Chain A
Amino acid sequence: MRNILRLSLTLVVVGVVSAALLTGMYNLTTPIIAERKEAEYRESLNCCFPDFDTFETVEIEEDKFDLLYDENGDLIGIMATAVQQGYDGDITYNLAFDGEGKIIDIIIISHTETPGVGEVITTDDFQQQFMGKSYEDPLTAGEDVDTVSGATISTSSMIGSIRRVTGVVAENFLGVESEEIDINSVPDGVYNGSAPGAGGPITVEVEISGGEITRIDILEQNETPTYYIESYPVIPEQIIANQNLDVDTKTGATISAEGIINAVRDALSGALEDGS
């Protein structure tokens, strides 16, 4: 009996002393390790944004975004980390945007696509077609970017994912969609605005009267006629009915419809800037 006590006591003492030592050591080294990890992370951000001063990390659902600011606190770029289901497993990649939401780099961190086939997503040929594009571009296969034949699933899933991430960036960090325009604060008057559609710029004339949008006319457009009739006059009517820009765009004519909405937004924000 006495022997058993002695044995257990020895083990307890050894365990407790060891645990205490390790706790102390852990508290000592953890901040240093964390600091080093952050320094390494900053180093990795340097590849695309050599001039950044500070950064903050934001997570939106599955995606992670690093917002990079220069010394004056201006947003100079965004590094997105996203995961996309490819042909064979997850593709993890970085998408680097400049301060205006234009894509400046794509870095595939890890993927398990078929060597020599789906692997083209890592090539310059495939990635180069995204450079300089932003939320204002359709980023749609067959329109402004192309899939690679033989690797359609890998490349089209990448295109879709890049379009989605670009949209999330524009919406959350560049204030593109979320910028709520308070129509009540727009002074009465007639304003012009324009935004890109599918066939070139769409120019609109918006009349504000008594804090409400009363009239939207299209001054200039060069959209495909069959698509255009899908969005005009439907979209302006909805905007006037709802008195806000949050209206459903028509499938099949998304770009034309969004062009009209963005042109109205441009007119109103221009009016607000002149007024203030």
Chain B
Amino acid sequence: MKSDNVYLGDLTRGIVKENPVFRLVLGMCPTLAVTVFIVNGFGMGLATTAVLIASNLVISLFRKFIPSEVRIPCFIVIIATFVTIIEMVLQAFQPVLYEALGVFVPLIVVNCIILGRAEAFASKKPVLRSLADGVGVGIGFIVALVILSTVREILGQGTILGPDPASAIHLFGANFEPMALFAQPSGAFIALGLLMGLVNVIFKRFNI
């Protein structure tokens, strides 16, 4: 029973208590840049999570073989390999998302969430716990990106589930002039700040 709790703790810690975006403020570049549409935010979160889980798994598996002197270059190569694989897969099967995420797909390599989890967790803990940690932090990142991109898409575009016209829902009718500020990175900063404040208030209220 106790071991179950360990895994559950590893899983949930990344989602709420140590949410990478709202609590640790890590991975800000992709967070601010791609969250213009919910689809983009979700896709970015998913791609990052896939890399995070894979790199946590592999790094934890080989943690005893990798000498600590060269651990950082090894981690980077492992992470970069997975990112490149994800990049090729996206380009082959999700070209629209690939175009939308642009340079931020290869930049997942330097997303500090991934290297941070590798260094702080996966290189020290057993495989299953590292896996649970990767899944948890990944979900936390996805949740944060989806919340932020929902706010930004509603305010900045006036739609939900855009930009694909087949799925886009226009919320405010044809005469609505969207707040272009929220489509810009500066608007992302403002939205993120407000959301962080909101998250802090809620957490304080419930003593998390």
A-to-B contact residues, CB < 8 Å: 3, 6-7, 10-11, 14-15, 18, 21-22, 25-26, 28-29, 32-33, 36, 40
Using A11-B70, A11-B73 as known contacts, list a sample of 5 further A-B pairs with CB atoms less than 8 Å apart, ordered by residue number in A.
A10-B70, A18-B78, A18-B81, A25-B89, A28-B88
* In the bound complex, CA of A273 to CA of B131 (Å): 79
Contact A14 B77 (CB under 8 A): yes
Once A18-B78, A32-B93 are accepted as A-B contacts, the answer to whether A10 and B85 lie under 8 Å apart by CB is no
CB of A17 to closest CB in B, whole Å: 8
Among residues 61 to 106 in chain B, which have CB atoms less than 8 Å away from a CB atom of chain A?
65-67, 69-70, 73-74, 77-78, 80-81, 84-85, 88-89, 91-93, 95
Once A10-B74, A11-B70 are accepted as A-B contacts, the answer to whether A21 and B91 lie under 8 Å apart by CB is no
B-to-A contact residues, CB < 8 Å: 65-67, 69-70, 73-74, 77-78, 80-81, 84-85, 88-89, 91-93, 95
Query: Which residues of chain B are within 8 angstroms of A28 by Cβ–Cβ distance?
Result: 88
Query: Which residues of chain B are within 8 angstroms of A15 by Cβ–Cβ distance?
Result: 77
Contact A6 B85 (CB under 8 A): no
Residue among B67, B88, B92 making CB contact with A10, cutoff 8 Å: B67
* In the bound complex, CA of A3 to CA of B67 (Å): 9
| Main secondary structure on A side of the interface with B | helix
* In the bound complex, CA of A39 to CA of B94 (Å): 14
Closest to A32 in B: B92
Residue among B70, B78, B85 making CB contact with A25, cutoff 8 Å: B85
Once A7-B67, A10-B66 are accepted as A-B contacts, the answer to whether A18 and B88 lie under 8 Å apart by CB is no
CB of A166 to closest CB in B, whole Å: 34
Once A14-B77, A18-B78, A21-B81 are accepted as A-B contacts, the answer to whether A7 and B70 lie under 8 Å apart by CB is yes
Query: Which residues of chain A are within 8 angstroms of B74 by Cβ–Cβ distance?
Result: 10-11, 14
Query: Which residues of chain B are within 8 angstroms of A10 by Cβ–Cβ distance?
Result: 65-67, 70, 74
Residue among B73, B85, B89 making CB contact with A21, cutoff 8 Å: B85
Once A7-B69, A25-B85 are accepted as A-B contacts, the answer to whether A18 and B80 lie under 8 Å apart by CB is yes
* In the bound complex, CA of A21 to CA of B83 (Å): 12
Residue among B67, B73, B88 making CB contact with A26, cutoff 8 Å: B88
Closest to B76 in A: A14
* In the bound complex, CA of A15 to CA of B73 (Å): 10
Enumerate 18 A-B pairs (CB-CB under 8 Å) in ascending A order: A6-B67, A7-B69, A10-B65, A10-B67, A10-B70, A15-B77, A18-B80, A18-B81, A22-B81, A22-B84, A25-B85, A25-B89, A28-B88, A29-B91, A29-B92, A32-B93, A33-B88, A36-B95
Contact A18 B77 (CB under 8 A): yes
Query: Which residues of chain B are within 8 angstroms of A14 by Cβ–Cβ distance?
Result: 66, 73-74, 77-78
* In the bound complex, CA of A7 to CA of B84 (Å): 25
* In the bound complex, CA of A40 to CA of B74 (Å): 38
* In the bound complex, CA of A29 to CA of B78 (Å): 20
Query: Which residues of chain A are within 8 angstroms of B65 by Cβ–Cβ distance?
Result: 10
* In the bound complex, CA of A7 to CA of B73 (Å): 11
Once A10-B66, A10-B70, A22-B84 are accepted as A-B contacts, the answer to whether A33 and B91 lie under 8 Å apart by CB is yes
Query: Which residues of chain B are within 8 angstroms of A3 by Cβ–Cβ distance?
Result: 67
Q: Which 6 residue pairs spanning A and B have beta carbons closest together?
A: A18-B81, A32-B92, A29-B92, A29-B88, A14-B74, A25-B85
Query: Which residues of chain B are within 8 angstroms of A33 by Cβ–Cβ distance?
Result: 88, 91-92
Closest to B85 in A: A25
* In the bound complex, CA of A26 to CA of B87 (Å): 10
